A and B are shown apart, each in its own frame.
Chain A
Amino acid sequence: MPNTLSRRDFLKVGGAALGALTVSRFVPPRVVAAARTAGLLDQNGDGYIPTMCEMCVWRCGVLAKVEEGRVVKLEGNPDHPNSKGKLCARGQSGLMNTYDPDRVLTPLIRVGQRGEGKFRKASWDEALDVVAANMLKIKEQYGAQAMIFSSTHNLSQVQFENLLYAFGSPNYGTQRSLCFNAMVTAFSLTYGIEEPSRDYTSVKYILLTGRNLLEAISTSETSDLMDAVARGAKLVVLDPRFTKTASKATEWLPIRPGTDLAFILAMINVIVTEKLGDCEFTARYAVGCDKLPAHIAFYTPEWAAKKTGIEADTIRRIAREFAAAMPDALAHPGWRTSNFINSFQTERAIATLNAIVGNVLTPGGCLNAENPEASGITLGKPSQPPYPRLSSLRLDGVPWKYPLVPLKLGVFQELRDAVLTGQPYQAHGWFIARQNPVLSLPDRQKTLEAFGKMDFIVTVDIIMNDSAWFSDVVLPEASYLERYDPLLPVSGKVFIRQPVIEPQGEAQSALWIYKQLGERLGLGDFFQYQDEEDYIRQQLAPLGNYSLEELRLHGYVEPPAKEKSQEITFNTPSGKVEVYSETLANAGYPALPTWEEPPSPNADQFYLLTGKVGQHTQMGTQNNQLLHKYEDYPRLWMNPEAADKLGLKDWELVEVTSEVGSVKVPVQVTPAIRADCVYLTPGYGHLSKGLRTAYGDGVSDSVLHVTYVDPVSGGQALSQTFVTVKKA
C-alpha cells in the first residue's frame, strides 16, 4: 500500500518540474528531504510515511498519507501488531489534532492573572531561560524536591524522567494511579508482569469485568474480540451499564458497582470446590492453590448473590461454563480498573481465576505473561552520569505511606494534599508535560487550589489545555505527526515515530525541549545526543547494523528473535504464579484474594460511574473537530425508575452534587443503567477558553469525584463517589 501511487500521483510525477516549485513553496526542506532520501516520498512530496499513533496509549502503527507537505489521511499500518491495518475513530482523526486551529505555535509567557488566559508570545530562548531561571531559583531556595514533575504515559517520557531525576526531584506524578494501578500492582505481584497480553485466537469464553472493550477501544484487541464473538465465542460482560460492549455480549450481568470481586471469588469457589480447574497447571506453575479451598469456602455463589445482585445459579452456571471452556477461557484483566478501594483485590481474584483454569502461557492460552512492549529487546541509550541521590520523601506517600506501589506509578492524587498542607514539605514549582491534571485528577477544585500554591508552573503541550491555561509558561510541543520520539519495541519489532510533516509554527519535539532545558539547568551531561535522529541512532546501535533510513522506510526493524526459553518462569519471588503472595502477607495485607466490602451510597444517593466512549481519549481529544463532530452530547445517564422517582424527564437539566462539588447537566433517561447508578462521560467541561471547540461542551466529572485511594495499589477509586441528583 505505501508504494502504490494513485493516478493523480502519476500525473504529478509527470509535472515534476512544476511540482518541485510547489514543494519548495509549501514545504520547508528538512522533513521532506529526509523522507525523500528514505524513499518515502516522490519528487512532489507525496507518499505514505510509516509512523505511530498517539491518540491513546495503544500506539497503533500508522501510514500517514502526505500530499505536498500536508498529512491528508492516516491509515492503519498492516505491519503493526497493534493496528493490523486499522485505526479507530480517534486514530483516524489524529491529523485534526495536528491541524487544530487552537494549536499553540510559539512559546507563551503569562502576562495577566493566572487563569485569565493572557499570554504573550516569546522566543524559545526567552521562554526556556525563564523556565530554567525559575526552576533554579526554586532549587536554590527550597531544594530540588520543591519542584513537582508530572507527565502522562508517552514515548518521550524516558527523557522526561531523565530531566526530573537529573534535576533531583523525587516528586513524579503519572496518570497511572488514576488508571491501571490496581491491575498493574496485582498482576506484578501475582505473575511478575505488569500487564499480561491477551490472545483471542482460540478463545471460546470471555469474561469482561471493568473492560468496555468496544468503547474503550484498543484497535487490534477490539477487532480480535469482535472476530472471536463472530466466531461464536461466548462473551459475558459484568457492568452496571448496558455498554456497547454489553450490547454485543452473549450475556450482560448488571452487577452492583464494586462487587465484581464477590462475583469472581464465587466463581473461584465453584471451580475449586467442584474441582473443575486445571490441577496440572496449578500444581506446576502456581503457589498457594492448596490454600485456596479453605480460604474460598466462605465465598459461595449464594453469598455473592447478596453482594452482587446476580442470582447464585447464574454465577454457578457461568463458573461451570468458564471452566468447561478451559483453557480457552479468558477473564480479562481489565484496564482502567481503579474503581473502588477493593479493586486491587478484584484484580488479584481475576489473576487467580485465570491461573486455576490454566490459560496462562500454555499453547492456545489466552493470557501471555509477557509485556507486549518489552519483547526482550534492549535498546541503546545515550551515556550519562549517575543521578543525584534523592534524600527527601515523596509527596505522594510512596513508599512511606503506600509501600507496595511501584515508584514509577506513584499516587498522583495524593500530591495535592501535601501541597496544600505543606507537609512533609512545601512544593513551589510544577513542571507538566503532555498532561492535564486540572481535568484528570479527581476533585478539580483541590487541584486548582494546589496550583494556587505554586510559585511557578510550566506546561508542555500542543494545545492550550486547561493546565496550560493556568500556567506561567507554555512550551509548544510538536504534534506526534511532526516529531521523532524514542523507539518502541512491539512483538519483536522495533517501531519508530517519525515526523511526516514539518512542525507547525515554532513547535519542537519533547526530546529537543528537554535537552535544551537540561542544558540551561546545567544538566547537559544527562542529554548526550545531538538531535532526535542522533538519539534514535544511539537507541538502534545495540540491535545490529540497522540504519535510521532503513528504519524510516519501513517504520520498523525486526532484530533476530532471541531463543525463548522452554521453561516457563514468572518474575515473582517464587518464580511461579503467586496465588498466595508472601510479599502481601509481609506487608500486612491478605495473602490470598479476599473480600473487602466497598462503601455503598445512602438511599438518596447514586453511584457516580465513569467510563469511556469510543470517540474520545480521556480529556485530551475533545478539541478535535472531527471527533467533536461525531461525538454524542455527554449527558447524565439515569434509569427511568430513578428518573420517575425524581420526576425527571429526558434532557431535563439536573444538578448533580457530591461532597466536593456540583455540576448542572441534562439528564439522559435510559434503561441502560442500574437504578442505583448514574453515569457521566468523562473528559468534558473544559475550563480553558483556548480550546474553542471543547470549551463549554459538557461538564467535568472531576468536579464531582472525591479523592479515595486504594491503600494497596494507590489507585484512585473513581466510582466510589456518591452523588445526589435534583432538578436544576
Chain B
Amino acid sequence: MADKKRYGFVIDISRCIDCRACQVACSLENSVPLNHTRIWIHDQGVQGTFPKLSRTFVPYNCMHCEHPPCIEVCVSGATYKDPNNGLVLVDQEACIGCGFCVEACPYDARYLDEKLGVVDKCNGCIQRVEIGQKPACVATCLGGSRLFGDLNDPASDVSIALKNAKSLFRLDIEGKDIDTDPNIYFINAPQSLTSLVTSDAFKQQGQAVPREPKYTISEEGWKKVLVPAIAAGIGASFLVQATYFTKQLIEGEKEFDE
C-alpha cells in the first residue's frame, strides 16, 4: 500500500505570529459554532525577565493520530480513520454525541456541538482538499507556519519542510496501553515543545497539551465487571439448558410418545 496517502500537518513554530487568521478561517469554512473552535494556539505568555524575553506560539488542532484514543472509545463507530488518507473523521450522522471521545482525546481537540448534539473536530478540510485546495487554515496562514499534505509523498510541502527542519517535535503520548503517534509535526521550535505546552501553569488551568486521556469510570467499569458478568450469565443459561436438554434426551419423552 505504498500509494496510500497519509495526510498530516507540519507546523513551523518559528513562523507562527498568533494572528489567529487560521482560527477565523476555520470557523467560517466549517461553520464552527461561536462558542467552540477547532484550532488552538497555545501561548505560554511572555517568558523570562525584562529585557531578556521570549514568547512562542504553538498552534495545533486534531493531530490525526495513527492510533487515536478517540476511536478506541467511540461506541457508534462515528469516529473513524479514513483508510484512504489517514484523517481522523467524525461521521456526524452516526455520532450520538455522548462525548466519550472528547474526554479521551489527550489533545482536547474535540468539542461537543450542543446545537447539533454531535461531536466535531478538525477534518483536515477534506472538502477542500478533495478539490485540490489547501485547508482553510493553511491557505490563509500569514506567517507561512501551517503546512498540510501527504506525509508519504516525498515531494509534498510537508515532506520537504520536514527534510529541511532544524528541529522536530511531536506531542506523542506513549504509555502502557497508548501510543497516539500524532500526525502533526512541529518544526523549528526554539526549545523543547513539551516544556512549552505542559508548563505547571497550564496544568493548573487544565490546559496542558497533551494530557492523560480520560476514560470515564463507568466505561472502565463496563469493561472490567459488567461485560464478563453478562457473558457469564449468558454462558450459564446455555449450560443449564444444555444439561437439561441432555437429561431429557437420555430420559426420553415419555409423556408425548404414547
Whether A and B touch directly in their complex, counting CB atoms under 8 A apart, is answered as: yes
Residues of chain A having any CB pair with chain B under 8 Å: 1, 4-7, 72-76, 85-89, 91-93, 95, 214-215, 217, 219, 222-223, 226-227, 229-230, 242, 244-248, 252, 254, 614-615, 625-627, 629-630, 639, 641, 670-672, 674-675
13 contacts between A and B (CB under 8 A): A5-B131, A6-B127, A6-B131, A7-B131, A76-B140, A86-B142, A87-B21, A88-B21, A92-B25, A226-B144, A230-B12, A614-B21, A672-B53
A184 CB to closest chain B CB (Å) equals: 26
> Do A86 and B21 form a contact, CB below 8 Å, given A254-B51, A626-B28?
yes
- Chain A residues lying within 8 Å of B20, measured Cβ to Cβ, are 89, 614-615, 630
Q: Which residues of A contact B28 (CB under 8 A)?
A: 72-74, 92-93, 95, 626
Closest chain B residue, CB of each to CB of A675? B50
B15 at the interface (CB under 8 A from A): yes
Q: Which residue of chain B is the closest to A96 with respect to CB atoms?
A: B28
* With A86-B21, A95-B28 already in contact, 13 other A-B pairs whose C-beta atoms are closer than 8 Å: A75-B139, A87-B21, A88-B140, A89-B21, A89-B24, A92-B25, A223-B143, A230-B14, A244-B55, A246-B53, A254-B51, A629-B37, A639-B50
B46 within 8 A of A: yes
B187 shortest CB reach to chain A, Å: 11
- The complex places the Cα of A219 from the Cα of B34 at a distance, in Å, of 24
Among A72, A244, A629, A641, the most chain B Cβ lie within 10 Å of the Cβ of A629
CB distance from A471 to the nearest CB of B (A): 30
In the complex the two chains form, is B140's CB within 8 Å of A87's CB? Answer: yes
- C-alpha gap A73/B130 in the complex (Å): 17
**Least CB separation from A221: chain B residue:** B142
Q: Is the CB of A226 within 8 A of B143?
A: yes
Nearest A residue to B14 via CB reads A230
Residues of A within 8 A of B175 (CB): none
Separation of A255 and B25 alpha carbons in the complex (Å):
36
B-chain residues with CB within 8 Å of residue A87 when the two chains form the complex: 21, 25, 140
What residues on A are CB-neighbors of B53 within 8 Å? 242, 246-247, 252, 671-672
CB of A173 to closest CB in B, whole Å: 31
Known contacts A7-B130, A73-B28, A223-B142; A92/B21 CB under 8 A? yes
Please determine whether B51 and A626 come into contact, CB atoms closer than 8 angstroms.
Answer: no
Q: Does B78 touch A at the CB level, under 8 Å?
A: no
Of A246, A615, A625, which contacts B34 at CB under 8 A?
A625
A672 touches B46 (CB 8 A): yes
Give A71's nearest chain B residue, CB to CB: B28
Give the residues in chain B near A672, CB-CB below 8 Å: 46, 50, 53, 55
Number of A-B contacts (CB under 8 A): 129
Which A residues are CB-close (under 8 A) to B21? 86-89, 91-92, 614
Using CB atoms, name the residue of chain B closest to A9: B131
Q: Does B17 contact A (CB under 8 A)?
A: yes
- The CA-CA distance from A310 to B244 in the complex, in Å, is 97
> What residue in chain A is nearest B17 (Cβ atoms)?
A214
Most chain A beta-carbon contacts within 10 A, residue among B12, B25, B27, B29: B25
**Nearest chain A residue, comparing its CB with the CB of B12:** A230
Check A614 against B24 for contact (C-beta < 8 Å).
no
Whether A244 lies near B17 (C-beta < 8 A) is: yes
Q: Is B157 located at the chain interface by the 8 A CB criterion?
A: no
Flag whether B75 is at the interface (Cβ < 8 A).
no
Q: Which B residues are CB-close (under 8 A) to A675?
A: 50
B84 to chain A, nearest CB (A): 15
A629: which of B27, B49, B132 is its contact (CB, 8 Å)?
B27
Determine if B199 is an interface residue (Cβ-Cβ < 8 Å): no
Distance in angstroms between the alpha carbons of A73 and B21 in the assembled complex: 13
- Cα A360 to Cα B20 with chains together (Å): 34
Residue B118 at the chain A interface, CB threshold 8 Å: no
Within B48-91, the residues touching A (CB, 8 Å) are 48-51, 53-56
Question: Is the Cβ of B34 less than 8 Å from the Cβ of A92?
Answer: no
CA distance A222 to B51 in the complex (A): 25
A75 to B128, CA, bound (A): 12
Q: Within the complex, what minimum Cβ distance (angstroms) separates B109 from chain A?
A: 17
Q: Write out the residue numbers on chain B whose beta carbons fall within 8 Å of the beta carbon of A226.
A: 15, 17, 142-144
Bound-complex Cα distance A226 to B140 (A): 14
Which residues of the partner chain A approach B141 to less than 8 Å between Cβ atoms?
86
Closest to B35 in A: A629
Report the separation of the CA atoms of residues A639 and B46 in the bound assembly, to the nearest whole angstrom.
Answer: 12
Among B21, B48, B136, max chain A CB count under 10 A is at: B21
B23 — which chain A residues lie within 8 A by C-beta?
Answer: 89, 630
Distance between A514 CB and nearest chain B CB, rounded to angstroms: 32
B248 within 8 A of A: no
Q: Please, how many angstroms separate the alpha-carbon atoms of A254 and B46 in the complex? A: 14
Cβ–Cβ < 8 Å partners of B46 in chain A:
242, 247, 670-672
Verify B27–A247 contact, CB threshold 8 A.
no
Q: Does B156 contact A (CB under 8 A)?
A: no
* Bound-state Cα–Cα, A219 to B140, Å: 10
The reply to whether B27 and A626 contact each other, CB–CB distance below 8 Å, is yes
Q: Report the Cα distance A91→B24, complex, angstroms.
A: 9
**Chain A residues near B49 (CB-CB < 8 A):** 671
Q: B181 an interface residue at 8 Å Cβ cutoff?
A: no
- Checking B12, B24, B29, B56 against A630 with a beta-carbon cut-off of 8 angstroms, the contacting residue is B24
Asked if A4 contacts B19 (CB within 8 A), the reply is no
Do residues A88 and B133 form an inter-chain contact, with CB atoms below 8 A?
A: no
* Interface contact A244-B131, CB-CB below 8 Å: no
When the two chains form their complex, are residues A217 and B142 in contact, meaning their CB atoms are under 8 A apart? yes
Would A629 and B17 count as touching, CB distance under 8 A? Answer: no
Contact A230:B144 (CB < 8 A) given known A1-B133, A88-B19: yes
